[in-house]
Amino acid sequence: MKPAAALLAAAVLLSLAACSTGHADVNKAGPSSSATADAGKSSTAEKAAGIPDAPTGNDRDAYLDAIAAVDPQIIVDEQKAIDAGRNQCASLAGDGFAKVDWLAAQRFGNDARPLTDAQGEQLNAALRGTLCPE
């Protein structure tokens, strides 16, 4: 009886595995066409928090050039630099952020390439002149 039980268990496992592969979940919502079209656009919540749309074209180039003047390594990963800048705009727009220069240095730097508060101040000046003017 034991070989039959083992065979039955193997058949059940194989049938369960077959059911879970190769089939799309029809109940799972895919990305809407508007979500794809709005890539880089700030949501209502982001706009309320002071996060601007991702820059494009000449605005993108001007932003990347401005922050690269502080440290060229910042723009090695351009998308990360844009995301950091958009998030830093929220800090610059908010009231009560006392350490915005330090925060910019933290956002744009990392353990391998730490930035100083003075560089953070330069980054904030670059941000105010490009991505998030006051």
pLDDT digits (tens, 9 = 90+) for 26-54: 444 444 444 433 456 668 888 888 899 99
Nearest to 7 by CA among 45, 106, 15, 128: 15
Burial class of residue 126, CB neighbours in 10 A (0-12, 13-18, 19+): buried
Does residue 26 belong to any structural domain of this protein? no
Does residue 45 belong to any structural domain of this protein? yes
Nearest to 72 by CA among 125, 108, 107: 108
Does residue 69 belong to any structural domain of this protein? yes
Domain range enclosing 103: 41-134
Does residue 123 belong to any structural domain of this protein? yes
Q: How much of the chain, in percent, has pLDDT values that exceed 90?
A: 57
pLDDT score, position 40: 63
Does residue 127 belong to any structural domain of this protein? yes
Specify the pTM: 0.67
Does residue 36 belong to any structural domain of this protein? no
The count of structural domains within the chain is 1
6 or 69: which leads in pLDDT: 69
Nearest to 108 by CA among 71, 133, 55, 59: 71
Does residue 27 belong to any structural domain of this protein? no
Does residue 59 belong to any structural domain of this protein? yes
